[in-house]
Amino acid sequence: MSQHHGPDRRTLLQGAAAASGAVLVGGAFGVSTAHAATGTAAAAEPPMYFRADWGARPPSSPVQVLATPPAYVVVHHTATANSTDYSDAHALALSRSIQNFHMDSNGWADAGQQFTISRGGHIMEGRDRAVPAVREGSHCVGAHVANNNSTCVGIENEGTYMDVGPTQALTDSLVATLAWLCGAYGLNPHSAILGHRDFNATACPGDVLYAMLPDLRNAVAGVMLAQGLEIGARTVPAEDRPTYPPVPEDEPRREFHHGPGRGADDFTR
């Protein structure tokens, strides 16, 4: 894989994505090279199950990859049961269920979220090209936060967290995933890590998980510092941050429905 990581390569990748939807060039194990040009340390990529591991369906149309990296990492819950099946088999089945719902019920091209974490702490790649995009410093556009998908990468955390919090295994994997993403994209965890409800009128990621975000940001910053990563290279200016709409009081609770995932401003689905 080339050490070059400038705009030309990203433009090329974006063009290739639009043209064919083919597997991203140089997608395998390119973690450290993405940082060679910037001089920062590599972000540790946590072990995860890729799409081939959970038997993902191909996207119904090519997923769009933007050269501009995301500005935010958005935390969601899946609005599914708080399962006590912590097996990898359950986690992989969850990924298939979410993808089926997003494609067959929502009519989206693929799973909406870039990443999924099970209550057993298993991390799964979601949307096609999600992992190669992070490794390349580009952005695989998903469908998880309405009208903001071009600037947000999303993590769906298995469960419903209105009244209780996630398992320790899920929390640990969430911190590792957030640290990887913030490091790879040069994001400041204190301004970049937000909840779905910060953008859209929804209770997602649940009152309890949302209330954990300050602690999660601190934990992520700690992991990044321990890995020698720079903190705050890309801090979002206050005027550019989302508007924090009120949480609706009568939001329906249905499996997989965790608030608006796609809106009029989103050019992909």
DSSP category for residue 153:
E
CB of 137 or CB of 259, closer to Zn ion: 259
Kindly indicate which of the ranges 61-69, 133-141, 159-167, 255-263 contains the residues binding Zn ion, using the contact rule CB under 5 A: 255-263
Residue type, 210: Y
Question: Which SS3 state, helix, strand or coil, does residue 119 take?
Answer: coil
* Contact between 119 and Zn ion per CB under 5 A: no
Query: CA 80 to CA 173: how far, in whole Å?
Result: 18
Query: CA 136 to CA 25: how far, in whole Å?
Result: 10
Which residues inside 37-76 make contact with Zn ion, applying CB under 5 A? 76
Closest CA to 174 of 141, 205, 132: 205
The size of the interface with Zn ion (CB under 5 A), counted in residues, is: 5
Asked if 181 and 140 count as a contact pair (C-beta separation under 8 A), the reply is no
State in angstroms the smallest separation of the CB of 196 from Zn ion.
3
State in angstroms the smallest separation of the CB of 113 from Zn ion.
8
- Please return the burial class of 33, using the count of CB atoms within 10 Å of its CB with bins 0-12, 13-18 and 19+: middle
Q: Could you report how far apart the first and last alpha carbons of the chain are, in Å?
A: 30
State in angstroms the smallest separation of the CB of 176 from Zn ion.
20
Mask: binding to Zn ion, 194-213, rule CB under 5 A, as x and -? --x-------x---------
CB of 76 or CB of 217, closer to Zn ion: 76
Kindly indicate which of the ranges 35-43, 210-218, 245-253, 258-266 contains the residues binding Zn ion, using the contact rule CB under 5 A: 258-266
Near Zn ion by CB under 5 A: residue from 259, 262, 266, 269: 259
Task: Tell me the C-alpha to C-alpha distance, in Å, between residue 165 and each of 33, 122, 206, 213.
Answer: 36, 17, 9, 12
* Contact between 258 and Zn ion per CB under 5 A: yes
Kindly indicate which of the ranges 19-27, 118-126, 163-171, 193-201 contains the residues binding Zn ion, using the contact rule CB under 5 A: 193-201
CB of 43 or CB of 204, closer to Zn ion: 204
Pair of tokens at residue 36: 């060679």
State in angstroms the smallest separation of the CB of 177 from Zn ion.
16
CB of 17 or CB of 117, closer to Zn ion: 117
State in angstroms the smallest separation of the CB of 142 from Zn ion.
11
Unique residue bearing structure tokens 């919090």: 165
State CA 92 to chain mean position distance: 17
- Please return the burial class of 241, using the count of CB atoms within 10 Å of its CB with bins 0-12, 13-18 and 19+: middle
Kindly indicate which of the ranges 51-59, 88-96, 161-169, 190-198 contains the residues binding Zn ion, using the contact rule CB under 5 A: 190-198
Preceding omega of 205 cis (within 30 degrees of 0): yes
CB of 111 or CB of 229, closer to Zn ion: 111
Q: Could you list the residues that contact Zn ion (CB under 5 A)?
A: 76, 196, 204, 258-259
